[in-house]
Amino acid sequence: MNPNNAAKRYKSVSAQTSVVDADPHRLIQILMENALEKMALAKGFMERNNVHDKGVNISLALSIIEALQTSLDKEQGGEIAENLYNLYAYMLNTLLEANLQNDVHKIDEVMKVLITIKEGWDKVPSNLQKNEGGE
């Protein structure tokens, strides 16, 4: 077996296990981490003029952000959930513009917003994490 293939398979199994074992709070963190990773990859492909792979990674980031947006419970989350919903909508629109305009700076802008949200999410006290079913 090729060592590179073995490493890829291990990474895939490891990632799947992390998701299966994760609580709802950790799942949101994983989604945010994956969206940031896809945007970073898209930037690299954009800088190398690799249109196909740029598009694939932006599409994946868009799907993840949309999943984050639809997981919001506006009734229970109130104004915070509404604000997050609007931030996710902004990120979706900006990523679409980044893709169409080949604009790395727009991807950076979205990444900064998502990093800020993720930093707040990461600071949620552990006693509250167990009670959450989503954002």
Provide the whole-model pTM. Answer: 0.79
CA atoms of 104 and 97, how far apart (whole Å): 10
Among 30-39, 86-95, 126-135, the range scoring the smallest mean pLDDT is 126-135
Instruction: Quickly state the pLDDT bin for 30 (edges 50, 70, 90).
Output: very high
* 133 belongs to a structural domain: no
* 53 belongs to a structural domain: yes
Q: Residue 47 is part of which domain span?
A: 28-123
Split into its structural domains, the chain has a count of: 1
Higher per-residue pLDDT: 79 or 3: 79
CATH of the domain at 115: 1.20.120.340
Region 69-96 average pLDDT: 95
* 99 belongs to a structural domain: yes
* 47 belongs to a structural domain: yes
Q: Is the pLDDT of residue 12 over 80?
A: no
pLDDT of residue 32: 98
What percentage of the chain reaches a pLDDT higher than 70?
A: 76
CA-closest candidate to residue 131, choices 78, 76, 80:
76
Higher per-residue pLDDT: 22 or 91: 91
Region 41-51 average pLDDT: 97
Phi-psi region of 9 (alpha: psi -120 to 50; beta: other; left: phi over 0): alpha
CA-closest candidate to residue 93, choices 107, 104, 83:
107
Average pLDDT, the chain: 86
CA atoms of 104 and 110, how far apart (whole Å): 10
